[in-house]
Chain A
Protein backbone atom coordinates (compact mmCIF):
# COMPACT_ATOMS: atom_id res chain seq x y z
CA UNK A 1 0.00 0.00 0.00
CA UNK A 2 2.70 2.46 1.00
CA UNK A 3 4.75 1.55 -2.03
CA UNK A 4 1.77 2.19 -4.26
CA UNK A 5 1.24 5.65 -2.80
CA UNK A 6 4.93 6.38 -3.17
CA UNK A 7 4.84 5.48 -6.82
CA UNK A 8 1.78 7.65 -7.32
CA UNK A 9 3.51 10.58 -5.63
CA UNK A 10 6.60 10.14 -7.74
CA UNK A 11 4.50 10.00 -10.86
CA UNK A 12 2.61 13.11 -9.83
CA UNK A 13 5.81 15.04 -9.18
CA UNK A 14 7.35 13.87 -12.39
CA UNK A 15 4.40 15.40 -14.22
CA UNK A 16 5.02 18.63 -12.36
CA UNK A 17 8.61 18.55 -13.55
CA UNK A 18 7.68 18.21 -17.20
CA UNK A 19 7.33 21.97 -17.85
CA UNK A 20 10.82 22.43 -16.43
CA UNK A 21 12.24 20.12 -19.03
CA UNK A 22 10.30 21.93 -21.67
CA UNK A 23 11.88 25.22 -20.59
CA UNK A 24 15.35 23.72 -20.67
CA UNK A 25 14.77 22.30 -24.13
CA UNK A 26 13.49 25.64 -25.41
CA UNK A 27 16.12 27.74 -23.73
CA UNK A 28 17.46 29.46 -26.81
CA UNK A 29 14.37 31.05 -28.29
CA UNK A 30 12.12 33.28 -26.21
CA UNK A 31 8.43 32.53 -25.92
CA UNK A 32 6.02 35.07 -27.33
CA UNK A 33 5.09 36.16 -23.81
CA UNK A 34 8.72 36.76 -22.96
CA UNK A 35 9.21 38.75 -26.16
CA UNK A 36 6.19 40.90 -25.35
CA UNK A 37 7.36 41.48 -21.79
CA UNK A 38 10.86 42.37 -22.84
CA UNK A 39 9.61 44.67 -25.59
CA UNK A 40 7.43 46.51 -23.08
CA UNK A 41 10.29 46.73 -20.60
CA UNK A 42 12.56 48.33 -23.21
CA UNK A 43 9.75 50.53 -24.57
CA UNK A 44 9.28 52.04 -21.12
CA UNK A 45 12.81 53.45 -21.31
CA UNK A 46 12.43 54.96 -24.78
CA UNK A 47 11.17 58.49 -25.21
CA UNK A 48 8.48 59.14 -27.76
CA UNK A 49 9.87 61.89 -29.98
CA UNK A 50 6.44 63.08 -31.04
CA UNK A 51 4.95 63.57 -27.57
CA UNK A 52 8.25 64.21 -25.92
CA UNK A 53 7.72 63.36 -22.28
CA UNK A 54 6.00 60.05 -22.72
CA UNK A 55 7.65 56.72 -23.23
CA UNK A 56 6.82 54.86 -26.42
CA UNK A 57 5.13 52.26 -24.23
CA UNK A 58 2.50 54.83 -23.22
CA UNK A 59 2.33 56.80 -26.43
CA UNK A 60 -0.28 56.26 -29.11
CA UNK A 61 1.66 58.04 -31.87
CA UNK A 62 2.50 56.36 -35.15
CA UNK A 63 6.24 56.64 -34.64
CA UNK A 64 5.95 55.08 -31.18
CA UNK A 65 4.03 52.19 -32.69
CA UNK A 66 6.67 51.71 -35.39
CA UNK A 67 9.43 51.78 -32.81
CA UNK A 68 7.61 49.21 -30.66
CA UNK A 69 7.27 46.93 -33.68
CA UNK A 70 10.95 47.42 -34.45
CA UNK A 71 12.00 46.66 -30.87
CA UNK A 72 9.84 43.54 -30.83
CA UNK A 73 11.46 42.41 -34.06
CA UNK A 74 14.92 42.98 -32.63
CA UNK A 75 14.07 41.20 -29.36
CA UNK A 76 12.78 38.15 -31.21
CA UNK A 77 15.91 38.19 -33.36
CA UNK A 78 17.94 37.83 -30.18
CA UNK A 79 19.32 41.36 -29.81
CA UNK A 80 20.08 42.25 -26.20
CA UNK A 81 18.82 45.39 -24.45
CA UNK A 82 22.02 47.36 -24.85
CA UNK A 83 22.22 46.63 -28.57
CA UNK A 84 18.68 47.93 -29.02
CA UNK A 85 19.37 51.08 -26.96
CA UNK A 86 22.53 51.68 -29.00
CA UNK A 87 20.67 51.16 -32.26
CA UNK A 88 18.10 53.78 -31.30
CA UNK A 89 20.52 56.34 -29.89
CA UNK A 90 22.71 56.00 -33.00
CA UNK A 91 19.76 57.28 -35.00
CA UNK A 92 17.91 59.57 -32.65
CA UNK A 93 20.57 60.56 -30.11
CA UNK A 94 20.75 59.97 -26.36
CA UNK A 95 17.63 62.10 -26.09
CA UNK A 96 15.55 59.07 -27.04
CA UNK A 97 16.64 57.31 -23.84
CA UNK A 98 14.52 58.45 -20.91
CA UNK A 99 17.42 57.69 -18.60
CA UNK A 100 20.47 59.67 -19.75
CA UNK A 101 23.61 57.53 -20.01
CA UNK A 102 26.64 58.26 -17.84
CA UNK A 103 29.00 60.15 -20.17
CA UNK A 104 31.50 63.00 -19.90
CA UNK A 105 28.83 65.58 -20.70
CA UNK A 106 26.39 64.14 -18.16
CA UNK A 107 28.85 63.72 -15.28
CA UNK A 108 27.54 66.86 -13.58
CA UNK A 109 23.95 65.72 -14.02
CA UNK A 110 24.61 62.41 -12.31
CA UNK A 111 27.06 63.51 -9.64
CA UNK A 112 25.71 66.89 -8.57
CA UNK A 113 22.99 65.48 -6.27
CA UNK A 114 25.56 63.33 -4.47
CA UNK A 115 27.96 66.25 -4.29
CA UNK A 116 25.29 68.43 -2.75
CA UNK A 117 24.35 65.66 -0.33
CA UNK A 118 27.95 65.27 0.79
CA UNK A 119 28.42 69.02 1.15
CA UNK A 120 25.13 69.38 3.02
CA UNK A 121 25.80 66.54 5.42
CA UNK A 122 29.25 67.97 6.07
CA UNK A 123 27.71 71.27 7.15
CA UNK A 124 24.97 69.60 9.17
CA UNK A 125 27.51 67.51 11.05
CA UNK A 126 29.65 70.57 11.73
CA UNK A 127 26.64 72.55 12.89
CA UNK A 128 25.51 69.95 15.39
CA UNK A 129 28.99 69.33 16.73
CA UNK A 130 29.08 72.93 17.85
Chain B
Protein backbone atom coordinates (compact mmCIF):
# COMPACT_ATOMS: atom_id res chain seq x y z
CA UNK B 1 0.00 0.00 0.00
CA UNK B 2 2.80 2.38 0.93
CA UNK B 3 4.71 1.49 -2.25
CA UNK B 4 1.61 2.14 -4.31
CA UNK B 5 1.19 5.61 -2.82
CA UNK B 6 4.70 6.62 -3.88
CA UNK B 7 3.96 5.83 -7.51
CA UNK B 8 0.76 7.86 -7.34
CA UNK B 9 2.70 10.80 -5.92
CA UNK B 10 5.36 10.62 -8.60
CA UNK B 11 2.94 10.24 -11.53
CA UNK B 12 2.04 13.91 -12.04
CA UNK B 13 5.74 14.76 -12.08
CA UNK B 14 6.41 11.97 -14.58
CA UNK B 15 3.54 13.14 -16.72
CA UNK B 16 4.89 16.68 -16.63
CA UNK B 17 8.36 15.60 -17.68
CA UNK B 18 7.04 13.42 -20.48
CA UNK B 19 5.05 16.36 -21.86
CA UNK B 20 8.15 18.57 -21.67
CA UNK B 21 10.19 15.89 -23.42
CA UNK B 22 7.68 15.38 -26.23
CA UNK B 23 7.21 19.10 -26.90
CA UNK B 24 10.99 19.59 -26.73
CA UNK B 25 11.50 16.91 -29.36
CA UNK B 26 8.83 18.45 -31.59
CA UNK B 27 10.44 21.89 -31.30
CA UNK B 28 13.87 20.41 -32.02
CA UNK B 29 12.52 18.80 -35.18
CA UNK B 30 10.87 22.01 -36.28
CA UNK B 31 14.10 23.89 -35.78
CA UNK B 32 16.50 21.49 -37.47
CA UNK B 33 14.49 19.54 -40.01
CA UNK B 34 12.80 22.38 -41.84
CA UNK B 35 14.53 25.50 -42.97
CA UNK B 36 11.93 28.00 -41.90
CA UNK B 37 8.81 27.41 -39.85
CA UNK B 38 7.09 30.34 -41.51
CA UNK B 39 7.24 28.66 -44.91
CA UNK B 40 3.94 26.95 -45.57
CA UNK B 41 4.00 23.66 -47.43
CA UNK B 42 2.17 23.71 -50.73
CA UNK B 43 -1.01 21.67 -50.84
CA UNK B 44 -0.70 21.28 -54.58
CA UNK B 45 2.32 18.96 -54.64
CA UNK B 46 1.39 15.83 -56.58
CA UNK B 47 -1.76 17.45 -57.94
CA UNK B 48 -2.63 18.64 -61.43
CA UNK B 49 -2.08 22.28 -62.27
CA UNK B 50 -5.11 24.42 -61.40
CA UNK B 51 -7.63 24.74 -64.21
CA UNK B 52 -8.03 28.51 -64.01
CA UNK B 53 -7.17 30.20 -67.31
CA UNK B 54 -4.31 32.69 -67.43
CA UNK B 55 -4.52 35.67 -69.78
CA UNK B 56 -1.36 35.98 -71.79
CA UNK B 57 0.56 39.14 -72.51
CA UNK B 58 2.82 39.68 -75.40
CA UNK B 59 5.66 41.65 -73.88
CA UNK B 60 7.07 42.74 -77.21
CA UNK B 61 3.96 44.43 -78.47
CA UNK B 62 1.67 46.45 -76.32
CA UNK B 63 -1.47 44.47 -76.75
CA UNK B 64 -3.96 43.58 -74.14
CA UNK B 65 -5.86 41.03 -76.13
CA UNK B 66 -7.22 38.27 -74.06
CA UNK B 67 -5.41 35.20 -75.24
CA UNK B 68 -5.24 32.52 -72.61
CA UNK B 69 -2.02 30.72 -71.83
CA UNK B 70 -2.27 27.14 -72.88
CA UNK B 71 -0.33 25.28 -70.22
CA UNK B 72 -1.06 21.92 -71.79
CA UNK B 73 1.20 23.08 -74.64
CA UNK B 74 4.09 22.43 -72.27
CA UNK B 75 2.91 19.00 -71.21
CA UNK B 76 5.27 16.16 -71.96
CA UNK B 77 8.30 17.87 -70.48
CA UNK B 78 9.18 19.46 -67.18
CA UNK B 79 8.59 23.20 -66.92
CA UNK B 80 8.41 25.92 -64.31
CA UNK B 81 5.83 28.53 -63.36
CA UNK B 82 7.13 31.67 -61.69
CA UNK B 83 4.91 34.30 -60.05
CA UNK B 84 6.64 37.66 -60.12
CA UNK B 85 6.00 41.40 -60.12
CA UNK B 86 8.02 44.43 -61.10
CA UNK B 87 7.27 46.05 -57.72
CA UNK B 88 8.63 43.07 -55.81
CA UNK B 89 12.21 43.51 -54.62
CA UNK B 90 12.98 39.79 -54.03
CA UNK B 91 11.94 39.16 -57.65
CA UNK B 92 14.83 41.36 -58.71
CA UNK B 93 17.14 39.39 -56.45
CA UNK B 94 16.13 36.08 -57.98
CA UNK B 95 16.19 37.37 -61.57
CA UNK B 96 19.69 35.99 -62.41
CA UNK B 97 18.77 32.53 -61.07
CA UNK B 98 15.51 32.52 -63.02
CA UNK B 99 17.55 33.48 -66.06
CA UNK B 100 19.81 30.49 -65.47
CA UNK B 101 16.86 28.18 -64.85
CA UNK B 102 15.41 29.26 -68.19
CA UNK B 103 18.47 27.78 -69.91
CA UNK B 104 17.43 24.35 -68.60
CA UNK B 105 13.66 24.31 -68.77
CA UNK B 106 10.92 26.58 -70.15
CA UNK B 107 9.47 28.99 -67.58
CA UNK B 108 6.08 30.60 -67.62
CA UNK B 109 6.03 33.91 -65.83
CA UNK B 110 2.87 35.22 -64.23
CA UNK B 111 2.92 38.93 -63.43
CA UNK B 112 1.09 39.30 -60.13
CA UNK B 113 -0.88 42.53 -59.63
CA UNK B 114 1.44 44.44 -61.86
CA UNK B 115 0.91 47.32 -64.22
CA UNK B 116 1.27 46.24 -67.81
CA UNK B 117 3.92 48.81 -68.74
CA UNK B 118 5.89 48.17 -65.54
CA UNK B 119 6.01 44.46 -66.32
CA UNK B 120 7.40 45.19 -69.76
CA UNK B 121 9.97 47.59 -68.33
CA UNK B 122 10.99 44.99 -65.77
CA UNK B 123 11.41 42.32 -68.43
CA UNK B 124 13.39 44.65 -70.64
CA UNK B 125 15.69 45.65 -67.81
CA UNK B 126 16.37 42.19 -66.43
CA UNK B 127 16.15 40.22 -69.63
CA UNK B 128 13.09 38.12 -70.30
CA UNK B 129 13.62 34.55 -69.11
CA UNK B 130 10.01 33.54 -69.75
CA UNK B 131 8.84 31.44 -72.65
CA UNK B 132 5.37 32.87 -72.12
CA UNK B 133 4.13 35.54 -69.78
CA UNK B 134 0.69 35.72 -68.22
CA UNK B 135 -1.01 38.30 -66.04
CA UNK B 136 -2.89 38.02 -62.81
CA UNK B 137 -4.34 41.44 -62.13
CA UNK B 138 -6.78 40.51 -59.39
CA UNK B 139 -4.66 37.90 -57.65
CA UNK B 140 -7.23 35.20 -58.39
CA UNK B 141 -4.85 32.95 -60.28
CA UNK B 142 -2.41 33.18 -57.39
CA UNK B 143 -5.09 32.03 -54.95
CA UNK B 144 -5.91 29.05 -57.16
CA UNK B 145 -2.23 28.12 -57.06
CA UNK B 146 -2.04 28.60 -53.29
CA UNK B 147 0.40 31.49 -53.65
CA UNK B 148 0.72 33.72 -50.59
CA UNK B 149 3.36 36.14 -51.80
CA UNK B 150 5.63 36.85 -54.74
CA UNK B 151 7.96 35.42 -55.89
CA UNK B 152 6.94 31.78 -55.91
CA UNK B 153 8.26 29.12 -58.23
CA UNK B 154 6.59 25.84 -59.18
CA UNK B 155 7.98 22.86 -61.09
CA UNK B 156 5.55 20.86 -63.20
CA UNK B 157 6.44 17.41 -64.51
CA UNK B 158 5.68 15.80 -67.85
CA UNK B 159 2.29 14.56 -66.63
CA UNK B 160 1.22 18.10 -65.77
CA UNK B 161 1.51 17.50 -62.03
CA UNK B 162 3.09 19.98 -59.64
CA UNK B 163 6.14 18.39 -58.08
CA UNK B 164 7.82 21.28 -56.30
CA UNK B 165 7.13 24.73 -54.93
CA UNK B 166 9.53 27.30 -53.61
CA UNK B 167 8.18 30.37 -51.83
CA UNK B 168 10.35 33.45 -51.72
CA UNK B 169 13.30 34.42 -53.89
CA UNK B 170 15.05 31.53 -55.57
CA UNK B 171 18.61 31.63 -54.27
CA UNK B 172 21.60 29.86 -55.69
CA UNK B 173 21.86 27.13 -53.03
CA UNK B 174 18.20 26.16 -53.36
CA UNK B 175 18.63 26.16 -57.11
CA UNK B 176 21.64 23.83 -57.05
CA UNK B 177 20.62 21.56 -54.16
CA UNK B 178 16.89 21.19 -54.80
CA UNK B 179 15.81 22.30 -58.23
CA UNK B 180 18.60 21.08 -60.50
CA UNK B 181 18.64 17.51 -59.07
CA UNK B 182 14.85 17.35 -59.39
CA UNK B 183 15.00 18.44 -63.03
CA UNK B 184 17.73 15.88 -63.78
CA UNK B 185 15.79 13.10 -62.07
CA UNK B 186 12.64 13.91 -64.02
CA UNK B 187 14.38 14.14 -67.37
CA UNK B 188 16.01 10.75 -66.74
CA UNK B 189 12.67 9.25 -65.74
CA UNK B 190 11.04 10.58 -68.87
CA UNK B 191 13.77 9.05 -71.01
CA UNK B 192 13.18 5.65 -69.43
CA UNK B 193 9.46 5.73 -70.12
Residues on A lying within 8 angstroms of B by beta carbon are 49-50, 52, 62-63, 66-67, 70, 89-93, 95, 116, 119-120, 123, 126
Contacts and interface: CB of A to CB of B under 8 A. Distances in A.
A89 B138 CA distance: 20
Contacts of A93: 40-41, 43, 146
B138 A66 contact: yes
B38 interface: yes
A49 B43 contact: no
A25 B12 CA distance: 61
A91 B49 CA distance: 12
Contacts of B11: 119, 123
B31 interface: no
Nearest to A120: B12
A66 B44 CA distance: 20
B8 interface: yes
Contacts of B143: 66-67, 70, 91
Contacts, number: 45
Interface of B: 8, 11-12, 15, 38, 40-41, 43-44, 113, 138-140, 142-146, 148-149
Nearest to B112: A62
A126 B40 contact: no
A50 B12 contact: no
Given A63-B139, A63-B148, A93-B43, 8 more contacts: A49-B149, A66-B140, A90-B43, A91-B44, A92-B40, A95-B40, A123-B8, A123-B12
Contact of B43 (A66, A89, A120): A89
Nearest to A119: B15
A67 B144 CA distance: 11
Contacts of A126: 8
A8 to B, nearest CB: 56
Contacts of A62: 113, 139
Nearest to A108: B22
23 contacts: A49-B40, A49-B149, A50-B148, A50-B149, A52-B38, A63-B148, A63-B149, A66-B138, A66-B139, A66-B143, A89-B43, A91-B43, A91-B143, A91-B144, A91-B145, A92-B40, A92-B43, A93-B40, A93-B43, A95-B40, A119-B12, A119-B15, A120-B12
Contacts of A120: 12
Contacts of B40: 49, 92-93, 95
A81 B143 CA distance: 18
Find the residue from A67, A70, A92, A123 having the highest chain B CB count within 10 A: A92
